[in-house]
């Protein structure tokens, strides 16, 4: 625990240094070699403090970071982008630690997020269906394949993508083998495609993660989850709520505790990439299906 | 035995009942944990609703199912049954869960720890509850309950050696015969029990979810005698006396009929035969204790009990126990001696052991633990050290997978960089009924996640550089810092 508390404060210091670097990169022409060296030393110190600290970083940052080399940042713009993404991911994890003790109090998390596959890669590759769109919106359906699938959600996603021009990504592996909406799945092709589209190709500004609950609630048709407004701005949330309500759907924000999963938490980068989980109640997936498709299509059409 | 006919008398004088609580894992068809206990339970309810006979049997054998903290675990609890019916109750509980799991395309794994995913949590265990109420009395006396508890507790090292069944943890040997006991945070050692007069009841802070009181004055007399094994009344120990006569907070308001001893040290036994034999041994030990109690023999704590306990957890039947006189004895020999001593009580109870426990051979030695087949062990070592950012020189041509699922060939001697990660596969012999008893093999393969896909890494490939992700990040900053200065200064 002591080590984890030290980690927390070291992460905070690293964060402030990244903020400073980002500011200087955008305002000054010349680099501050000293500041970059400080960041480098801070990372080295984190590495020395505890041999397991790397797990926190592999868990908090995009995998793309660890697949890149310094040659990928040949321009100042690329480097600025790298620093910005680094800073934002740390920020998100620090903020998220308000809701759980994950960052600094429980050493158990260090063991949890090892990169490993618990299903045969050969059998399940690639494990998803992807249809490219032309709008900067990605619709993901991580629980589309039975057993224990979210019924009709894939149909809603495909129809919406067709009408709106959004990209769509549907898992073809059942969640009983791998749940793409969990941190353990970040190494799978499904999750890496999201990272590629958002970070490397920069094609996506909004992620809509579609789910279907079995829970029946007369008072609600659609529930929106954004990790207590951590993964999306108020403006975009309001806009989505309005579109659903206009189509006669009872839509609420995080009323039954569907606050979101790992897809929206890990891949959001507010304000550049906004991620929203949409939980469709049984009525919304059946008799009100058309209304859902229309509301989502209208919402997506506004993005350019 | 000195006086076998008396032992038989004792058996007829006591109403002996056994209750079993066994936690099991819900796994998918690849053998990995699957968090669907709610779905399993709703399927089971549906099954019972459709078949009256199944409902009748469930009522007959089981008290209920319990949720566990991890949704890939489920626990069945048998009714308190006559001791000769225990095996049937266990068989029914396991079969019922297995059938329900099969209906949702899953299996039940009966082990205490998943050989790959338990690291150390999640952990399963078997709890055996033994009640021995005198036929002509309303309840078990505090003195008798204390005596039997202390007698059985004195044999905890042998019980652990007989039942230790979890040598693997996180995909590799943990160095302990029972990793479950070595790493569990709740199976702490109990103390020698005494009957004490306590002024009030202190409720430990960790029980505040059960009751928010720190001290309860209500209805309690100025002093009340209670059986104390832990001053704070903690229940989650390796063995505990239970019931309203104890200072256990959860038991304060229970009925006198719940007085019993609960043995929690037992790792899950994968066969019903071994589990029921363990029950028989514990039962015989309890009857031996009753026998000694009636003869007014004193029970004292074994001198090196805790040290022997630790040795049993570490080495199982290969442990060397320290006797009270300072001499040593092999754990297996100690078990054999115990068996010889309690055999008249087993005879008196008309019970016969069905397994090799009589020879001190535990289940793990009969069925073995799974073979770990690691195709490139050096990579697993790198992974354990966190050195997963690697540069590899491929020794031969390689068929790789792109992120889009296409197969692409990479040429010989090509250098590739990426993140190293293992892929695990389990094999087992399926015996039907939706139950997996034991894994035979754990196969570990290694992959390299690269920018555009995945490359399988084979034994002859050469690792040219390896570092942990933090070193990788710091080197990016280092190189870029210099280059940017060069470009923009």
Q: Is the same domain home to B390 and B358? A: no
Whether chain B has a CB inside 8 Å of the CB on A80: the answer is: no
B472 CA: distance to closest CA in chain A (Å)? 7
pTM: 0.90
**What is the Cα–Cα distance from B428 to B438, expressed in whole angstroms?**
6
User: Which residue matches tokens 């020999």?
Assistant: B333
Residue B333 has pLDDT above 60, yes or no: yes
Of A31, A52, A68, the CB nearest to B484: A31
Q: Is the same domain home to B333 and B232? A: yes
Question: So what's the pLDDT on residue B236?
Answer: 86
Task: Answer yes or no: are the C-beta atoms of B412 and B394 closer than 8 Å.
Answer: yes
B215 CA: distance to closest CA in chain A (Å)? 30
Q: Is the same domain home to B362 and B403? A: no
pLDDT tens sequence across A238-284: 999 999 999 999 999 999 889 999 999 999 999 999 999 999 999 99
Question: So what's the pLDDT on residue A103?
Answer: 46
CA-wise closest residue to A117 among B403, B449, B36, B410: B449
Highest mean pLDDT among A159-168, A179-188, B341-350: A159-168
Mark yes or no for CB contact B473/A192 under 8 Å.
no
Question: So what's the pLDDT on residue B212?
Answer: 72
**What is the Cα–Cα distance from B41 to B75, expressed in whole angstroms?**
11
Q: What is the mean pLDDT of residues A75-89?
A: 88
Of B116, B472, B478, the CB nearest to A66: B472
Last residue of a domain, one of B319, B346, B367: B367
A44 CA: distance to closest CA in chain B (Å)? 6
Q: Measured between beta carbons, which residues in chain A are less than 8 angstroms from residue B383?
A: 114
Whether chain A has a CB inside 8 Å of the CB on B489: the answer is: yes
Interface predicted TM-score of the whole assembly (ipTM), two decimals: 0.92
B177 CA: distance to closest CA in chain A (Å)? 22
Q: Is the same domain home to B363 and B398? A: no
Mark yes or no for CB contact B469/A66 under 8 Å.
yes
Q: Is the same domain home to B356 and B381? A: no
Question: So what's the pLDDT on residue B2?
Answer: 45
DSSP state of A30: S
Nearest-by-CA chain A residue for B424: A118
Mutate to test the interface with A, among B71, B419, B477 (most CBs of A within 10 A): B477
Whether chain A has a CB inside 8 Å of the CB on B417: the answer is: yes
Mark yes or no for CB contact B104/A73 under 8 Å.
no
CA-wise closest residue to A227 among A186, A262, A189, A187: A262
Phi, psi dihedral angles at A137 (to 5 degrees): -125, 135
Dmax of chain B from CA atoms?
A: 100
Question: So what's the pLDDT on residue B354?
Answer: 95
CA atoms A34, A40, A43, A49: torsion sign: negative
Of B28, B419, B474, the CB nearest to A177: B28
Whether chain B has a CB inside 8 Å of the CB on A33: the answer is: yes
The residues, ordered by sequence, that sit 6+ positions from B90 with a Cβ below 8 Å of its Cβ are B20, B22, B78, B272, B275, B276
DSSP for A181-225 reads TSGGGGGSHHHHHHHIIIIIS---SEEEEEEE-----TT-SEEEE
Whether chain B has a CB inside 8 Å of the CB on A213: the answer is: no
Task: Answer yes or no: are the C-beta atoms of B131 and B16 closer than 8 Å.
Answer: yes
DSSP for B155-190 reads THHHHHHHH--B-EETTEE-S-SBHHHHH-SS-BPP
Whether chain A has a CB inside 8 Å of the CB on B28: the answer is: yes
Task: Answer yes or no: are the C-beta atoms of A226 and B488 closer than 8 Å.
Answer: no
Indicate which CATH number applies to the domain containing B170.
3.30.590.20
pLDDT tens sequence across B14-54: 899 999 999 999 999 999 999 999 999 999 999 999 999 99
**What is the Cα–Cα distance from B479 to B489, expressed in whole angstroms?**
15
Q: Measured between beta carbons, which residues in chain B are less than 8 angstroms from residue A47?
A: 468, 470-471, 474
Question: So what's the pLDDT on residue B207?
Answer: 65
**What is the Cα–Cα distance from B440 to B426, expressed in whole angstroms?**
8
Q: Is the same domain home to B261 and B361? A: yes
Identify which has the larger pLDDT, A79 or B425. Answer: B425
**What is the Cα–Cα distance from B131 to B139, expressed in whole angstroms?**
10
CA-wise closest residue to B347 among B272, B261, B276, B280: B280
The bridge status of strand B14-27 relative to strand B260-266 is unpaired
Q: Across-strand partners of B227?
A: B195, B246
Highest mean pLDDT among A117-131, B97-111, B178-192: B97-111
Question: So what's the pLDDT on residue B199?
Answer: 59
User: Alpha carbon of A178 to those of A186, A261, A264, A279, B463: distances in Å?
Assistant: 10, 14, 17, 20, 29
Question: So what's the pLDDT on residue B221?
Answer: 55
Q: Is the same domain home to B294 and B398? A: no
Domain count for chain B = 2
CA-wise closest residue to B404 among A192, A133, A118: A192
Cβ under 8 Å to A: B residues 108-127: 116-117, 119, 121
- Write down the mean pLDDT value for chain B: 90
**What is the Cα–Cα distance from B123 to B374, expressed in whole angstroms?**
24
Residue B220 has pLDDT above 80, yes or no: no
The total of other beta-carbon atoms located within 10 Å of residue B242's CB is: 21
Provide the pLDDT confidence category of residue A216 given band limits of 50, 70 and 90: confident
Mark yes or no for CB contact B468/A54 under 8 Å.
yes
**What is the Cα–Cα distance from B61 to B353, expressed in whole angstroms?**
22
Whether chain A has a CB inside 8 Å of the CB on B3: the answer is: no
Last residue of a domain, one of B351, B367, B383: B367
Whether chain A has a CB inside 8 Å of the CB on B34: the answer is: yes
Question: So what's the pLDDT on residue A104?
Answer: 39
User: Which residue matches tokens 């592996």?
Assistant: A173
Q: Is the same domain home to B302 and B384? A: no
- Write down the mean pLDDT value for chain A: 89
Q: Is the same domain home to B136 and B164? A: yes
Q: Measured between beta carbons, which residues in chain B are less than 8 angstroms from residue A54?
A: 386, 468-470
Of B30, B470, B473, the CB nearest to A119: B30
CATH code for residues A121-301: 3.40.630.40
**What is the Cα–Cα distance from A157 to A152, expressed in whole angstroms?**
9
Q: Please give the interface size between A and B, counted as residue pairs whose CB atoms are below 8 Å apart.
A: 150
Cβ under 8 Å to A: B residues 465-484: 468-484
B468 CA: distance to closest CA in chain A (Å)? 7
Q: Is the same domain home to B338 and B392? A: no
User: Alpha carbon of A62 to those of A83, A195, B469: distances in Å?
Assistant: 12, 7, 12
Q: Is the same domain home to B277 and B323? A: yes
pLDDT tens sequence across B411-450: 888 999 999 999 999 999 877 889 999 999 999 999 999 9
CA-wise closest residue to B269 among B259, B283, B280: B280
Mark yes or no for CB contact B403/A108 under 8 Å.
no
**Range of the structural domain that residue B223 is part of:** 4-367
Task: Answer yes or no: are the C-beta atoms of B247 and B201 closer than 8 Å.
Answer: yes
Question: So what's the pLDDT on residue A1?
Answer: 43
Q: Measured between beta carbons, which residues in chain A are less than 8 angstroms from residue B467?
A: none
Q: Is the same domain home to B342 and B474? A: no
Of B119, B472, B477, the CB nearest to A39: B477
**What is the Cα–Cα distance from B383 to B468, expressed in whole angstroms?**
9
Mutate to test the interface with A, among B484, B486, B488 (most CBs of A within 10 A): B484
């Amino acid at each position: 625990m002591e080590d984890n508390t030290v980690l927390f404060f070291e992460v905070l210091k690293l964060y402030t240094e990244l903020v400073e670097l980002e500011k200087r990169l955008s305002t000054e022409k010349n680099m501050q070699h000293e500041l970059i060296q400080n960041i480098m030393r801070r990372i080295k110190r984190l590495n020395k403090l505890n041999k397991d600290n790397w797990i926190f970083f592999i868990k908090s940052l995009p995998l793309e970071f660890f697949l890149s080399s310094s040659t990928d940042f040949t321009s100042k713009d690329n480097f600025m982008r790298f620093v910005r993404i680094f800073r934002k991911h740390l920020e998100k994890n620090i903020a998220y630690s308000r809701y759980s003790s994950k960052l600094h109090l429980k050493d158990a998390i260090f063991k949890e997020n090892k990169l490993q596959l618990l299903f045969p890669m050969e059998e399940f590759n690639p494990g998803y269906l992807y249809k490219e769109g032309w709008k900067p919106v990605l619709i993901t359906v991580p629980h589309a394949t039975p057993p224990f699938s979210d019924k009709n959600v894939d149909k809603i996603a495909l129809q919406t993508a067709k009408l709106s021009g959004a990209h769509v990504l549907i898992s073809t592996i059942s969640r009983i083998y791998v749940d793409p909406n969990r941190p353990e799945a970040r190494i799978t092709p499904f999750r890496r495609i999201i990272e590629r589209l958002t970070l490397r190709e920069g094609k996506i500004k909004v992620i809509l993660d579609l789910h279907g609950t079995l829970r029946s609630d007369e008072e609600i048709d659609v529930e929106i989850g954004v990790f207590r407004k951590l993964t999306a701005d108020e403006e975009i949330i309001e806009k989505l709520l309005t579109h659903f309500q206009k189509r006669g759907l009872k839509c609420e924000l995080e009323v039954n505790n569907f606050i979101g999963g790992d897809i929206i938490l890990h891949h959001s980068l507010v304000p550049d990439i906004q991620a929203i989980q949409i939980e469709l109640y049984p009525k919304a997936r059946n008799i009100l299906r058309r209304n859902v498709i229309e509301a989502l299509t209208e919402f997506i059409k506004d993005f350019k | 035995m000195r006086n076998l006919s008396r032992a038989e008398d004792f058996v007829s004088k006591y109403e002996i009942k056994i209750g079993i609580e066994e936690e099991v894992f819900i796994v998918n068809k690849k053998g990995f944990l699957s968090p669907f206990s709610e779905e399993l339970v709703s399927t089971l309810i549906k099954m019972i609703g459709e078949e009256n006979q199944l409902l009748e049997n469930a009522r007959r054998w089981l008290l209920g199912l319990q949720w566990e903290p991890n949704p890939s675990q489920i626990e069945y609890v048998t009714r308190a049954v006559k001791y000769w019916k225990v095996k049937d109750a266990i068989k029914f509980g396991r079969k019922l869960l297995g059938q329900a799991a099969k209906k949702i395309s899953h299996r039940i794994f009966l082990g205490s720890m998943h050989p790959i995913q338990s690291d150390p949590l999640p952990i399963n265990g078997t709890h055996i509850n033994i009640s021995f109420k005198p036929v002509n009395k309303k309840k078990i006396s505090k003195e008798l309950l204390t005596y039997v508890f202390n007698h059985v507790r004195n044999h905890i090292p042998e019980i652990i050696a007989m039942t230790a069944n979890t040598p693997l943890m996180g995909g590799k040997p943990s160095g302990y015969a029972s990793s479950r006991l070595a790493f569990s945070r709740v199976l702490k050692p109990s103390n020698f029990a005494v009957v004490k007069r306590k002024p009030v009841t202190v409720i430990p802070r960790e029980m505040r979810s059960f009751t928010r009181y720190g001290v309860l004055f209500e209805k309690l007399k100025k002093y009340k005698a209670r059986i104390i094994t832990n001053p704070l009344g903690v229940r989650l120990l390796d063995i505990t006396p239970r019931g309203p006569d104890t200072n256990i907070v959860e038991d304060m308001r229970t009925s006198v009929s719940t007085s019993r001893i609960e043995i929690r040290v037992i790792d899950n036994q994968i066969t019903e035969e071994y589990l029921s034999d363990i029950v028989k041994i514990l039962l015989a030990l309890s009857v031996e204790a009753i026998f000694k109690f009636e003869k007014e023999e004193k029970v004292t704590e074994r001198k090196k009990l805790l040290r022997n306990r630790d040795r049993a957890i570490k080495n199982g039947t290969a442990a060397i126990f320290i006797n009270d006189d300072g001499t040593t004895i092999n754990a297996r020999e100690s078990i054999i001696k115990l068996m010889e001593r309690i055999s008249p009580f087993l005879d008196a109870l008309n019970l016969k052991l069905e397994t090799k426990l009589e020879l001190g051979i535990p289940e793990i030695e009969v069925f073995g633990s799974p073979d770990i087949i690691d195709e490139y062990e050096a990579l697993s070592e790198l992974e354990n050290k966190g050195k997963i950012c690697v540069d590899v020189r491929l020794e031969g041509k390689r068929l790789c997978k792109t992120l889009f699922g296409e197969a692409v060939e990479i040429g010989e001697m090509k250098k590739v960089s990426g993140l190293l990660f293992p892929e695990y596969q389990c094999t087992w012999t399926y015996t039907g009924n939706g139950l997996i008893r034991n894994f035979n093999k754990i196969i570990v393969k290694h992959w390299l996640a690269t920018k555009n896909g995945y490359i399988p890494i084979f034994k002859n490939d050469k690792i040219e550089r390896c570092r942990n992700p933090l070193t990788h990040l710091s080197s990016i900053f280092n190189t870029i810092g210099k280059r940017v200065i060069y470009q923009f200064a």
